[in-house]
Amino acid sequence: MNMKNIYKACLIAIMSVAMTSCNESSFLEEKPLSIYTPENSLVTIQDFQGAVNTLYNQTRFLIHEQTAHERYMFWYGTDLAFGAADYYANSRLNNYEATMIPTEPGVLNFWRHTYALVNQSNLIISRLEKSDVSEADKNTLKGEALFFRAFGYRILANLFGGVPLILEEITTPKRDFVRATREEVYQQAKKDLTESASLLADINRVKDGKISKQAVQHLLGEIQISLGEYDEAITTLSSVIDYPEMALMTERFGTKKDEPGDVCSDLHKTGNQNRSTSGNKETLWALQYDHLNPASKNGDERPRMILPYYNAINITVKDATGKDVTTAAFNLTAEKGGRGIGWAQPTWHMTNGVWTDDTDLRNSSYNIVRDMKIDNEKSPAFGKWFVADGFVSQTDTIRMWYPFFMKVTGDVPEDLWEKDGSGNPKMTKFGEHIVLSATTSSYRDTYMFRLAETYLLRAEAYLAKTDREKATADINVIRARAHAKLAKSSEVDIDYLLDERLRELSFEELRMCTLCRMGKLVERDRKYNPLSGKTIRDFHNLWPIPFSEIESNVFAVLEQNPGYVN
């Protein structure tokens, strides 16, 4: 290169630096290339699909993977269940004055985990507007994000009442949140769901587990009820009920249809939650689970939570020589649901009070087990009935023994069966598979919305309009499927409806959300919960705003709910 060319190159370089220095903000702008940021990680359709998958995973976390105490708060302290693990001490888990306070970690984590759904949804919606994703994909992704934002606000409004409305991606620290009213939060959820329904495909055109138009409309109907828009709710819910590809399952179906059982037990067998694998047209939304797939993380551990700690029951029986022999009563088996530890015992009202006739399939021995044969061959009582033959008097009927709700269990995968030296499954004399002590999950997909609930929501809307005849007709659709005695309109009121929800949706619906939404938590907890009913106060129909959120919100006042002291 000669001197003339060198001079020219230097001049160009100097001019380039000079021009760059004129735009100082551009020159100084950080462009991270070795780390992920929203700017470089949400670009392709695959990036956005991964972000939406996070919404599904966050929902699984909220329902299944929080710490034990926190996730059980959807059921503890209601007419459905109490904390059996600390029954005798009557400690904090069953004491509203101890757990329903602004400094309670469980309350804070519910708040934060639910807002995580909202914030992730906002991120997706914001970044989609600037992306090059196709319009068709953009509509689907936005429809799902809008649904999950509404789903999060539905939980927050039901539990806390009015909460801050965050509708945009937060990119800088913010400490000036103010609460919207509960009605404003429901209105925003309605707006999101209305748009979501216009963007998403019908249920027969989406993959199992994905949000469909009908799942959106189901939630929208509930939100419209919360807003007092009963006619609109009836119209919305009717569009789900009347959609040709939706139907209650009324005949045996699925993976176990040729084995002993009934249609109500079939609904809860592994592999029967999705329409593509079982033909189940009742499912509106089921969280997906694949055993041994790391992406599924933890499974649905309601069996561990709800089933009694039966494998720890020891009984003393005289042998043939008259000598007292103490042995375990039961083997830990797949058919009993695996290893329960009895942390959330159903109330007497749930196990006995709501069952008014003997024909109701939901109370059949395939769905609620009330007695079992002692299957430990080493026990002199082998083959006898645990309850009918009086052995139940030897154990703790709070945590160790109470009726088994088999709807929460699932088929146990073979890798969790105990094997003998030849690799053959170990079995009891009654043909049950003995399983490892780590068998605590249901190993199946988890219902979030079912068509049966859609009928019950529409019945609620009819009741609010004082149309008992139509409300009763909807309830009787559910009861007829269960072969239960049909209800009379003269007996149907909001408490009858709530009892019917217990019969049909026990441990499926987020019961705390239902009761808080309807303003019935305090009344029914006092009436039916033997522990928390003693400490609940009138203001507990709403949860407290977490104190740490109030304390850190230094540039505005985040008001506390009435009755609570920060």
pLDDT digits (tens, 9 = 90+) for 431-449: 999 999 988 888 889 999 9
Which of 423, 443, 463 is a domain's end point?
A: 443
Q: Are residues 428 and 318 in the same domain?
A: yes
- pLDDT value for 44: 93
Within a domain: residue 260? no
Within a domain: residue 149? yes
Q: CB 318: neighbour CB atoms within 10 A?
A: 11
Within a domain: residue 205? no
Q: Are residues 307 and 418 in the same domain?
A: yes
Averaged pLDDT for residues 454-476:
98
Q: Are residues 71 and 175 in the same domain?
A: yes
Within a domain: residue 269? no
Q: Are residues 65 and 180 in the same domain?
A: yes
* 427 pLDDT above the threshold of 70: yes
Within a domain: residue 235? no
pLDDT digits (tens, 9 = 90+) for 183-208: 999 999 999 999 999 999 999 999 99
* 528 pLDDT above the threshold of 50: yes
Instruction: Tell me which residue range forms the domain holding 348.
Output: 301-443
Within a domain: residue 32? no
Q: Are residues 529 and 435 in the same domain?
A: no
- pLDDT value for 39: 65
Is 276 strand, coil or helix? helix
What pTM, to 2 d.p., does this model score?
A: 0.91
Which of 320-329, 403-412, 497-506 is predicted least confidently?
Answer: 403-412
Alpha-carbon gap, residue 143 to 212, rounded angstroms: 9
Averaged pLDDT for residues 409-419:
90
Q: Are residues 539 and 436 in the same domain?
A: no
Quote the strand ranges of 309-383, DSSP E: 314-318, 324-328, 344-346, 368-369
Averaged pLDDT for residues 475-486:
98
Q: Residue 286 belongs to what H/E stretch?
A: strand 283-287
Structure tokens at 238: 């009717």
Averaged pLDDT for residues 540-564:
97
Which of 211-215, 299-303, 361-365, 553-557 is predicted least confidently?
Answer: 299-303
Q: Are residues 430 and 526 in the same domain?
A: no
Alpha-carbon gap, residue 376 to 329, rounded angstroms: 6
Which of 443, 459, 491 is a domain's end point?
A: 443
SS (H, E, C) 424-457: CECECCCCCEEECCCCCCCCCCEEEEEHHHHHHH
DSSP 64: I
Alpha-carbon gap, residue 510 to 32, rounded angstroms: 42
* 281 pLDDT above the threshold of 60: yes
Looking at the structure of the chain, the number of domains it has is 2
* 69 pLDDT above the threshold of 70: no
Which CATH number goes with the domain that contains 72? Answer: 1.25.40.390
* Residue in 263, 220, 217, 222 with CA at minimum distance from that of residue 243: 217
Within a domain: residue 483? no
Q: How confident is the model at residue 68 (pLDDT cuts 50, 70, 90)?
A: low
Structure tokens at 359: 């024909």
Alpha-carbon gap, residue 403 to 367, rounded angstroms: 10
Within a domain: residue 486? no
Q: Are residues 181 and 51 in the same domain?
A: yes
* 549 pLDDT above the threshold of 70: yes
Which of 443, 458, 490 is a domain's end point?
A: 443
Per DSSP, helices labelled H in 388-520 are 451-464, 468-481, 494-505, 511-518
Averaged pLDDT for residues 248-271:
96
The answer to whether the beta carbons of residues 240 and 215 sit under 8 Å apart is no
Higher-pLDDT residue of 435 and 24 is 435
